[in-house]
Amino acid sequence: MTSATLTANANSARRGNPLARRLLIAGAWLVFALFLLLPLLVVLSEAFKQGVGTFFTAILEPDAISALKLTLTAVAIAVPLNLVFGVSAAWCVSKYEFTGKSLLVTLIDLPFSVSPVIAGLIYVLLFGAQGYFGQWLSDHDIQIVFAIPGIVLATIFVTVPFVARELIPLMQEQGTQEEEAARLLGANGWQMFWHVTLPNIKWGLIYGVVLCTARAMGEFGAVSVVSGHIRGLTNTLPLHVEILYNEYNHVAAFSVASLLLALALIILLLKQWSEARLSRLKSNADEE
C-alpha cells in the first residue's frame, strides 16, 4: 500500500460518507420526533389548553403539593440506597472472576423484568394484613403497605438495577490495570477508589443516578398496588395524575404530568450542563 492511498483512506475515514451521515442524522431526528416528541407535545398541549393560569392552579393545589412531597421523599430514600448498592455490585462484578457471576448479574437485572404489578403484590404478600408478617406488624401497630414505607419499598425495588446496570459494562470495558497500578504505587483501597475508579466511572454513575431518579419519580404500577390511594396522604405524583384524569379533570392531570416531565427534564439538563462544563475544565487543564 502506498503512502498516498493510506492518506486518502485516512481522510475518507475521518470525514465519513457525507450522504450516509446526513441520512443517519435525519433518521435520528425522525425517530426522536415520532417516538418522543409527539407524545410529549400531546401532554403539554393538553396541559396548557386552558392557559397558564389553570396550569398553575393545578400544580399548586394542596393535594398536588403533598403528592410532590411524597414523591420526592421516596426518591430521596431510594436513589442514595441504590447508588451505594450499584457501585458495590458493579465493583464486585467487574473487578473479579468468581463462579456464579452470571447468576448474580441476572439477579441484579431481575427487578427490570418483574412486572410492576408483581413488584407491588410481593410486598402485599409479605406485609399485608393477610401476609406472612401481617399479624406481627398489626400487633406492633406498624403499617407498611398502604402507607409511606410500602411506597418507598416499591420505589426502591423497581429502581434497584439502574446504577449497577450503567456501571457494569463501563467498568468491564475499562478493566483493572489502572487500579492495579494505583495499588502497586502504594494507594490503599479507598484512595484507589476515590482517585482512580471514581473519576473513571463518574459519567456512568451520574447517568445511572439520573435514570434512577427519573424512574423513581415516574413509577406508577408498583406504587399503585401498595398505595391505597388516600388523597393527600399516600398519593404520589403519578397516582395523582391518574386520579385527576379519572375525575374528568384532564387539564389538571396533564398539568401535573408536565410538572413531572419538567422535573425530569431539569435533572437531565443539569447532567448535560455539568458534563459539558467538566469536560471543558479538563481540556483546559490538559492544554496547560
Partner 1 sequence: MSIRTLSLSLIASALFAAPALAQTTLLNVSYDPTRELYVEYNKAFNKHWTAQGNEAVTVQQSHGGSGKQARAVIDGLKADVVTLALAGDIDELHKLGKLIPENWQERLPQASTPYTSTIVFLVRKGNPKNIKDWGDLTKDGVEVITPNPKTSGGARWNFLAAWAWAQQHYGSEAKAQEYVKALYQHVPVLDTGARASTITFVNNQIGDVLLAWENEAFLALKEQGGDQFEIVAPSLSILAEPPVSVVDKNVDKHGTRKVAEAYLQYLYSEEGQRIAAKNFYRPRNEKVAAEFAQQFPNLKLVTIDKDFGGWKTAQPKFFNDGGVFDQIYQAQ
Partner 2 sequence: MSRRISPVIPGFGLTLGYTLVYLSLLVLIPLGALFLKTTDLTWAQFIQVISAPRVLAALKLSFSTAFFAALINGVIGTLLAWVLVRYTFPGRKIIDAMIDLPFALPTAVAGIALTALYAPKGLIGSLAADIGLKIAYTPLGITLALTFVTLPFVVRTVQPVLADIPREVEEAAACLGAKPLQVARHVLLPALLPAWLTGFALAFARGVGEYGSVIFIAGNMPMKTEILPLLIMVKLDQYDYTGATAIGVLMLVVSFILLLAINLLQRRIETP
Residues near partner 1, by CB under 8 A: 66, 69-70, 72-73, 75-77, 79-80, 83, 124, 127-131, 134, 138, 143, 145-146, 209, 228-233, 243, 245-248, 250
Q: Which is nearer to partner 2, 60 or 262 (CB)?
A: 262
CB of 284 to partner 2, least distance (A): 20
238 binds, among partner 1, partner 2, none (CB under 5 to 8 A by kind): partner 2
Q: Which is nearer to partner 2, 286 or 288 (CB)?
A: 286
* CA–CA dist 104, 204 (Å, integer): 20
CB of 69 to partner 2, least distance (A): 17
Q: How many CB atoms lie within 10 A of CB 96?
A: 9
* CA–CA dist 117, 129 (Å, integer): 18
Cell numbers of 262, please? 419538567
CB of 61 to partner 1, least distance (A): 13
CB of 130 to partner 1, least distance (A): 6
Return the closest-CA partner of residue 109 out of 153, 161, 171, 158.
161
199 binds, among partner 2, partner 1, none (CB under 5 to 8 A by kind): none
Tally the C-alpha atoms within 13 A of residue 104's C-alpha that lie toward its C-beta. 16
To the nearest 10 degrees (0 to 180), the angle between helices 161-174 and 62-95 is 30
Q: Specify whether the CB–CB gap between 244 and 232 falls below 8 A.
A: no
Q: Which is nearer to partner 1, 48 or 104 (CB)?
A: 48
